[in-house]
Amino acid sequence: MERFFSPQQTFAVRTHLRDSFLTNSLYCSQLVKDAIVDRLRNISGQRPAVQVENPDLLFDCRLYKNRLLLSFDLSASPFYQRAYRSRQLQASLKENLAAALVEWSQWHYGQPLADIFSGSGTIIFEAIYKAFNLPGGLLRKRFGFFNLEEFDRQNFDLLRKNWNYQIPETRLKIFCSDSDASALKAVSANWRNFPEWVRRAVELTQQKSDFRQLKGFSGFCLISNPPYGYRLQSEENLSLLYKDLGDFLKRKCPASKAFLLVGDLQLIKKIGLRPSWRRIVFNGPIECRFLKYELY
């Protein structure tokens, strides 16, 4: 431990426990913290300080069936958090789920992309990550391993610089819209976090609009996560919304493919189109369907 961690650094311990003689995770954290302090004090004569918020090093302690595994948290925040989110909405998808939807859709940057229920833009941003082969941690300012004694900043910066980025041959055409003005504000705020060279290579059109008022899309790939149940809409409104969405796709999106993540299986029927493909997806605890529609 002392190879990675010096007494001048602050630390904290986070515990998860199950099926063990200790049942209180705070108490377990306290015991582990005391053991770490004792060890470093015995070796160096100095006592490291505990700092619960933003410590230099976070220890992850897992006690399961009375076996304890102690690790450094080298990430500090979950990997799916890409750090482009200045603003988040209540119903935003997790980045990793949005990335999976883009992957399953087989969207390729040569095809124009639209999300007509964009919320904060997670789906389009994940598509941009894919198109440019951006590493997931590109925008993150901090990782847990930055505070390790042996962390080499220069090498890390070099690695980021020399990453195998891809610059698509043509400017990406991406459209996003939402009926809620605050969603579009979130998209703009988030988009500003991307590097200038990425933003220059994307023609991103944003529009505040109910989807019914949109002109339509020919030859597009549409990927969306329309609202469902747990949000504020009444059931009746949602039924109508899904029926109108089906009509919109049928009438206004020729030669396109539409992919919808729907969290209420009853609402799928209201769309009135037969999906050519579907898969079961969990959005947190909500069992959803990811559906593909071929539109002619």
Ligand X SMILES: C[S@@+](CC[C@H](N)C(=O)[O-])C[C@H]1O[C@@H](n2cnc3c(N)ncnc32)[C@H](O)[C@@H]1O
- Residues of this chain that interact with ligand X (CB under 6 A) are 89, 91-93, 117, 119-120, 122-123, 178-180, 183, 210-211, 225-227, 241
Nearest approach in angstroms of CB 153 to ligand X is 33
For ligand X, the closer CB: 40 or 101 = 101
> What φ, ψ does residue 50 adopt, rounded to 5°?
-85, 135
For ligand X, the closer CB: 101 or 198 = 101
Nearest approach in angstroms of CB 271 to ligand X is 14
For ligand X, the closer CB: 59 or 290 = 290
Nearest approach in angstroms of CB 25 to ligand X is 31
Nearest approach in angstroms of CB 137 to ligand X is 20
Half-sphere exposure of 183 (CA within 13 A, CB side): 23
Which position has the token pair 């590493």?
A: 135
Residue 131's contacts (CB-CB under 8 Å, 6 or more residues apart) are 109, 166, 168, 172
> For residue 126, what are its two tokens?
């994940």
For ligand X, the closer CB: 11 or 117 = 117
Name the strand (E) or helix (H) holding 247: helix 235-252
Residue 120's contacts (CB-CB under 8 Å, 6 or more residues apart) are 85, 87, 88, 89, 92, 183, 186, 187, 190
Asked if 8 and 46 touch (Cβ cutoff 8 Å), the reply is yes
For ligand X, the closer CB: 226 or 275 = 226
Nearest approach in angstroms of CB 279 to ligand X is 17
Cα–Cα nearest to 176, from 140, 127, 132? 127
- Rounded (to 5) percent helix, strand, coil in the chain: 35, 25, 45
Nearest approach in angstroms of CB 105 to ligand X is 14
Q: For residue 226, give the DSSP letter.
A: -
For ligand X, the closer CB: 29 or 120 = 120
Nearest approach in angstroms of CB 82 to ligand X is 12
For ligand X, the closer CB: 60 or 180 = 180
Which position has the token pair 């099926």?
A: 19
Distance between CA atoms of 115 and 123, rounded to whole angstroms? 7
